[in-house]
Amino acid sequence: MSRNQLIKNMPLSQATKMVDLIDYHEGQVVSRTISQRDDLSITLFAFDKGEAISTHSSPGDALVHVLDGKAEITIGEEKIIATEGDVVVMPANIPHGLDAIEKFKMFLVVVKPN
């Protein structure tokens, strides 16, 4: 790994299916950090059915790309059902949370002001 490498925990210089980089674990939410900086966070998540991330807010916009499964995403007062292939942006400073309706994998990018 190069000393300045910003992308971690995934193969370099090859085609990779993002959905295959993280596995489900019964009764858990599993995460895999790909990149973490003050202004940017990229993380993979796998949720078992019924698992959730409770309502919270973030100082940055968060982009969710659903890789597998189905989730209910709450943003403010709105509830969105997202399935494989869907992309949802959760705006900065608006309370949001996620509930896995079925097993669910997502690619999350959070961009914060610097």
Name 105's bridge partners: 46, 68
Q: How far is CA 58 from CA 41, 83, 95, 106, 110, in A?
A: 12, 23, 8, 17, 9
pLDDT for the residue numbered 4: 63
pLDDT for the residue numbered 55: 96
Which amino acid, 40?
A: L
pLDDT for the residue numbered 1: 43
pLDDT for the residue numbered 11: 87
pLDDT for the residue numbered 114: 78
Rg (CA), the chain: 14
Domains annotated on the chain, with CATH: 25-111 (2.60.120.10)
pLDDT, averaged in runs of 10, over the chain (114 residues): 71 92 97 94 97 96 98 98 98 97 98 90
Q: Which tokens go with 102?
A: 């079925």
pLDDT for the residue numbered 29: 97
Q: Give the list of residues 6+ apart from residue 29 with CB closer than 8 angstroms, or none.
A: 45, 46, 47, 48, 51, 52, 53
pLDDT for the residue numbered 51: 98
